[in-house]
Amino acid sequence: MLFSSITFLYFFLPVTLVISFLTPKKYKNLVLLIASFLFYGWSSPGYLLLLIAVILTGYMAGIVIEKRHFAGGFAIGLFVLCLMICKYVPWLSKLGNHVTNGIVPVYQWVLPIGISFYTFQMISYVYDVSQKRIQAEKNLIHLATYISMFPQLIAGPIVRYETVQKEMQNRKMTWDQFAIGVRRFIIGLSKKVLLADVLGELVAALRAMDGKNTAMYWYFMIAFSLQLYLDFSGYSDMAIGLGGMLGFTIPENFRYPFISKSITEFWRRWHISLSSWFRDYVYIPLGGNRVSLGRWMVNMLIVWGLSGLWHGAGGHFLVWGLYFGVWLILEKRWLHGVLDKCPCWLQHIYTLLVVLISFIFFQMDTMQEAFQVLTGMFGFGQTNDVTMLYGTYQMKKYMLVLVIGSMASTPISVKLVQVIKEKSRIGNRILWFIEPFVLFGLLIIVTAFLLNSSFHPFLYFRF
């Protein structure tokens, strides 16, 4: 089920919220677990069995670890194997088939939705128990609810058990928290439906054009970068908002990454839960930066290579991850001092440029396509009159949405609201008064867009 669907918005969500409110504390997790299973199994009931198997394995591993430490490694191995089979075997078999001229058979199946997120959560739980950072959860319902909680089940953020453990055992659903959740949810939904999906139309239109000139390639990549950010951060906003409505505090996943002044800062602001997961569960166990320079560089490349592959099974994702690995090595060892001396605007341009180019590898399906876009951006594109006509038209058509999308990816509006609230009492009162109208107005407009649009899955679902 998608958050941006009528099934979810007007049926699943209100019914789940009302039942959760009315249910006694003791049974709240059970209600949330049943709702989450329904949410996950709605469009792919078969994969629900896999999710349940992962939960049961993690639960048993947690209990056994306290007596037999090796069980942790065994369980983590199982989760990694499960992820490998579901996500990477089709890609690897295709690669093997190509290399061996058809000797290796090709295996193809649909990736279970959200598997990268929930296996990572389970790995973090088992690892933390084995490291004695947290105690094993004895209550199966609590653990199953943590893994399958529908707000963050299929596209994150990747939540650690220690973050929600207390709330899992004892949480309060308050009107204040609920209202903040409603605001966050509607803002996230609007980012996704009104901006990301509309920019997605532009991206699809430009991508479909055979010949593009340099300006079109740049426009295409800027639009895609904004679409990706607004889509994913919109989803995270919705997850945080829904968590709030249900009494959970789900951690932030984005902090305006496009205002970063370095790649290091960018990754502290983009998909924070994944970056910190790789830091804590791969980078630090490998030795972190307390090793020789050579080993550290290898560690960095391993971590970023894996991060790339986490995003997708494909050579271009691996290149995408390694690309960032190389930039981060360069920054941390050599560029850091140089960047600090540069003017602020130059630091921003440098970061945006590196990130924009990275998204070429992220977006295109093959390396060949990625290089075509890359060369096109630097003046080697070929265009024709028809593409010019239609491309220019599309660029003009979506210009304002692109500007609004750019503004939404900076903290300008949030800061403006803060300033009004702090400096002007009347302004504060006006904001207080109009906020509900704006929120419900947005909900109506979002619904209108959903009714008139075709299917728009979240970009990060494929991971």
- Counting other chains too, the contacts that 337-341 makes at CB distance below 8 Å and 24 or more residues apart are 339/261, 339/262
Examine residue 10 and tell whether it contacts other proteins (CB under 8 A).
Answer: yes
Examine residue 352 and tell whether it contacts other proteins (CB under 8 A).
Answer: no
In the list 6, 49, 80, 84, the residue contacting other proteins (rule: CB under 8 A) is 6
In the list 129, 182, 196, 239, the residue contacting other proteins (rule: CB under 8 A) is 182
CB 216 within 8 Å of CB 383: yes
Examine residue 386 and tell whether it contacts other proteins (CB under 8 A).
Answer: yes
Q: Which of these ranges, 123-131, 226-234, 305-313, 386-394, lies near other proteins under the rule CB under 8 A? A: 386-394
Residue 110: both structure tokens together = 């649909």
Closest CB to other proteins among 175 and 345? Answer: 175
Q: Which of these ranges, 25-33, 74-82, 271-279, 394-402, lies near other proteins under the rule CB under 8 A? A: 394-402
Angle (CA) 415-421-425 rounded to 5° is 155
Closest CB to other proteins among 449 and 458? Answer: 449
Backbone phi, then psi, for 205, in 5-degree steps?
-65, -45
Rounded to the nearest whole angstrom, what is the least distance from the CB of residue 167 to other proteins in the complex?
19
Closest CB to other proteins among 122 and 186? Answer: 186
Rounded to the nearest whole angstrom, what is the least distance from the CB of residue 452 to other proteins in the complex?
5
In the list 180, 215, 356, 431, the residue contacting other proteins (rule: CB under 8 A) is 180
| Residues 192-211 within binding reach of other proteins (CB under 8 A) | 194, 198
CA 438 to chain centre: 26
Closest CB to other proteins among 74 and 178? Answer: 178
Compose the 413-442 pattern: x for residues touching other proteins by CB under 8 A, - for all others. -------------------x--xx--xx--
Closest CB to other proteins among 204 and 349? Answer: 204
- Residues taking part in catalysis: 311
Rounded to the nearest whole angstrom, what is the least distance from the CB of residue 15 to other proteins in the complex?
8
Output the 3-class SS for the chain: CCCCCHHHHHHHHHHHHHHHHHCCHHHHHHHHHHHHHHHHHCCCHHHHHHHHHHHHHHHHHHHHHCCCCHHHHHHHHHHHHHHHHHHHHHHHHHHHHHHCCCCCCCCCCCCCCCHHHHHHHHHHHHHHHHCCCCCCCCCHHHHHHHHHCHHHCCCCCCCCHHHHHHHHHCCCCCHHHHHHHHHHHHHHHHHHHHHHHHHHHHHHHHHHCCCCCHHHHHHHHHHHHHHHHHHHHHHHHHHHHHHHHHCCCCCCCCCCHHHCCCHHHHHHHCCHHHHHHHHHHHHCCCCCCCCCHHHHHHHHHHHHHHHHHHHCCCHHHHHHHHHHHHHHHHHHHHHHHHHHHCCHHHHHHHHHHHHHHHHHHHHCCCHHHHHHHHHHHHHHCCCCHHHHHHHHHHHHHCHHHHHHHHHHCCCHHHHHHHHHHHHCHHHHHHHHHHHHHHHHHHHHHHHHHHHCCCCCCCHHHHC
Rounded to the nearest whole angstrom, what is the least distance from the CB of residue 97 to other proteins in the complex?
27
| Residues 15-34 within binding reach of other proteins (CB under 8 A) | 15, 17-18
Nearest-angstrom CA–CA distance, 422 and 435: 16
Residue 210: both structure tokens together = 């055979």
Examine residue 448 and tell whether it contacts other proteins (CB under 8 A).
Answer: yes
Compose the 134-173 pattern: x for residues touching other proteins by CB under 8 A, - for all others. ----------------------------------------
Size of the residue set binding other proteins (CB under 8 A): 51
In the list 94, 443, 461, 462, the residue contacting other proteins (rule: CB under 8 A) is 443
In the list 132, 139, 393, 418, the residue contacting other proteins (rule: CB under 8 A) is 393
Compose the 41-60 pattern: x for residues touching other proteins by CB under 8 A, - for all others. -xxxxx--------------
Examine residue 67 and tell whether it contacts other proteins (CB under 8 A).
Answer: no
Rounded to the nearest whole angstrom, what is the least distance from the CB of residue 114 to other proteins in the complex?
15
In the list 68, 333, 397, 415, the residue contacting other proteins (rule: CB under 8 A) is 397
Closest CB to other proteins among 7 and 170? Answer: 7
- Residue numbers of the site for other proteins (CB under 8 A)? 1, 5-7, 9-11, 13-15, 17-18, 42-46, 175-176, 178-180, 182-183, 194, 198, 386, 389-390, 393, 396-401, 404, 432, 435-436, 439-440, 443-445, 447-452
